[in-house]
Amino acid sequence: MAQGSSQPKPGHRVAVIVDEGTNPFEVGVATELFGLPRPELGLAGPLYDVTLCAPTREVRMNHGFFTMTGVAPLDAVDEADTLVVPGRPDNVVPRGAAVRDAIRRTHARGARVMSLCTGSFALAEAGLLEGRRATTHWRWADIFRALHPGVLLEPDVLFVDDGDILTASGSAAALDLCLHVVRRDHGAEVANAVSRRLVFAAHRDGGQKQFVERPLPDVPDESLAPLLAWAQGRLGEPLTVGDLAARAAVSPATLHRRFRAQLGTTPLAWLTGERVTLACRLIERGEERLDVVAARSGLGTAANLRARVRRETGLSPSAYRRRFGQGGGEPLMS
């Protein structure tokens, strides 16, 4: 969590490159998440200052659905704190030299760089991903590996946060990554408010493996949604995997298989992640007593709370409160 503030600060500049053939959905995701006013947060303006920029005055979007005009020149990237590179369908054709150079110099001066869906091809073409972790859409994974064998591709995840370079696996995963960036910059409470306005989960478990085409089972598993909603309302209780299995009227082994198939994670990992998220929200809202946060979130002890929060956020509870809490810098009390 390299950046952050307890209150949204619109001074952070985001540039979105709109190149020939760019996917409109991903441009829309970036502008929706970063550039729209946030009345749900009591703000008249957006969380970030967003600029769309392009190498030409007119840009024909994917499949020629429309042509975008009136965007800023490509040198707008030189003022950006974060650069967003959406994908496009013709990934075997390299981006133009001007776009590659803009990506390269933006990263070289220390700005954060994000790709959405197959925008990772452009980052790799610019030389940013050599020897680094990244992801791309599962349908393009084999082609990506063939073109860029030096990249540490993780094809089964929704997104990869590698510090100053972040990559999303697909168009919908662009929402996951952009919400992750909002959470990273502004905290879980703000990200949850934005996700509620989007009517989109603030954090989706599992990876894109769950979306890879495969034959349907003869008897599909039942949805986990009712069980997840039931558990989320009882995180402070001593829930176990056995309790979840009993609620779903299945064996723990069957429950484990369903979590793996539908969410790409285990019941215990999901339960722990939900509890850490709740703990972070309690800290942001001003609860100063570590033992109270641990009890209300279901993490049990202050020691377990410290370990889990640090593992998930990279910060101690006190450091998390200083960055994202309402009350400022007073340390949390055990």
How many other C-beta atoms can be found within 10 angstroms of the C-beta atom of residue 25? 17
Instruction: Examine the residue annotation and report whether 117 is marked as an active-site residue of this protein.
Output: yes
- Please check whether residue 83 is in contact with residue 17, taking contact to mean a CB–CB distance below 8 angstroms: yes
Catalytic residue among 53, 117, 178, 280: 117
- Residue 206: alpha-carbon gap to chain centroid: 12
- Please check whether residue 158 is in contact with residue 200, taking contact to mean a CB–CB distance below 8 angstroms: no
Look up residue 148 and give its amino acid.
Answer: H
How many other C-beta atoms can be found within 10 angstroms of the C-beta atom of residue 307? 13
**CA dihedral in degrees (117, 121, 122, 127; nearest 10)?**
130
CA–CA distance, 96 with 89 (Å, rounded to integer): 15
CA–CA distance, 317 with 324 (Å, rounded to integer): 10
Spatial neighbors of 272 by CB under 8 A, at least 6 apart, are: 308
Kindly list the catalytic residues.
Answer: 117
